[in-house]
Amino acid sequence: MGGKNLQADNPTTWSITDALTRLRDRQISVAEYIAALTAACDAHKDLNAFTSWDHDRLRDDAEKVDAAGNAGQGLAGIPICFKDNINTATLTTGGGTGAMKNWQAPGNAPVAQALFNKGALLGAKGNMHELAFGITTNNAVTGAVHNPWNKAMIPGGSSGGIAAAVAAGMMPGGIGTDTGASVRLPASLCGVVGFRPTVGRYSSDGIIPISLTRDTAGPITRTVADTRLLDAVMAGTGAGAEIPAANTIRLGVSREYFFGNLDPAVADNATDVLDRLAGAGIELVVADIPDLARLDEAVSFPVVLFEFMRDLPAYLEQYNVGLTMQQLYEGIGSPDVKGLFGSQMGDEAMPEAVYQQAMTVDRPALQQTYADYFASHNLDAVVFPTSPLPARPTGDDETVELNGERVPTFPTFIRNTDPGSNAAIPGISLPCGLTPDGLPLGMELDGPAGSDERLLGVAAAIEPILDFSARPDLG
């Protein structure tokens, strides 16, 4: 596929692993590397990818790494951007919302600290859909994030700022959060890699929550190798599983749920991807996951809405934010988020009985359905288009066009990513093509619960088959 190669001489195009090699070999100093990235941040401010940053501090940190002489060891010298809902001791943690806009967390979230312990630098805080409750990252408080491939389009969300920054070469990698789509969808719409681990693989402490049953942090990078590296650090594991040979991989193709009513460009790309995978020796098993739509619907909103009103107040208290839920509500600027938040503070709140039904009956049934599917067909993963459609224009917050109809924006974009989230299984979105008008597309692999390292190995085997090296033309 066309586009600039990730190994070009421009430091803003380097993967994390490539940058580490160049830093270790003293081909470039950390100060020089950071200078290139901060210049890119300044040049692409119009993307509105970040809520806060401190380039002077970042330059000072770079000089300290150079002085210590350990550049390229571990993650030393690599700047990472963190979504604005992940606590960091420097730079604000605002959740993209008005009442918390200037709030300073008392310390680093464990997922951030693990990376800092390996020498990573805090690059910036990523803009996001307000309180992570949406997928457009059209935030009325912090401003809309723009897709670097076409600035009139959404970057996806809620980790839209992280994906836009990584795609634009402003940062080599970042950490977002994913409840139902929020790492994988923006990765797909921005042409980068997004990984959602099995829930519990990473600590959830120090992250502004929606639903602790469903929330997880997840890396957004340009390559699977970078994702594997960040995953191993955050999970505290070793190097990970070996990369399997293509002819040992078995992938499920569940057409009934994941391949219906796709945008024509997505459908054509998915067909091409499946043909390439089969041509490389990967065995595709066409078999539907039974009753998936009903089970997903029974779990999705009942869990999120009930736990939101339980878990967010607990975070506000635990970290001494100094705000009530009412004060938080009053500071919300985005109409979609304000309406949803307000509905749960009144008579429309999710009943506990519905939540208990979801948690004790429907969610276990969904998890068992996935487990049975993978086991009965001896699958490494199920493969499908990450999103039924590519990026759509900013401002299409309520409805978007799909195959000649106006359909609801949020449920349409998360249709394919949501079931795996509710089952708490790992999933990774890989960039795999462009629409005729130049917007990126992604294919997702969801694996069995706890198979994170095997799934990442499978993704690494598939990445060269997809052969995606295109980059957005930012002038």
Q: How far is CA 315 from CA 113, 139, 211, 422, in A?
A: 18, 22, 11, 22
What residue type is assigned to position 62 of the chain?
Answer: A
Question: Among all residues, which ones are annotated catalytic?
Answer: 83, 158, 182
383: CB partners within 8 A, 6+ apart: 251, 252, 253, 273, 274, 277, 284, 443, 444, 445
Q: Is 221 left (phi over 0), alpha (psi -120 to 50) or beta?
A: beta
Backbone angles phi and psi of 81, in degrees to 5: -100, 140
Distance between CA atoms of residues 76 and 235, nearest Å: 18
Which of 126, 320, 296, 131 has its CA nearest to residue 208? 131
Supply 444's token pair. Answer: 């997702």
Which of 424, 430, 475 has its CA nearest to residue 452? 424
User: Beta-carbon neighbour count of residue 89 at 10 Å?
Assistant: 15
Please tell me the number of Cα atoms within 13 Å of 438 on its side-chain side.
14
Which of 463, 466, 473 has its CA nearest to residue 221? 463
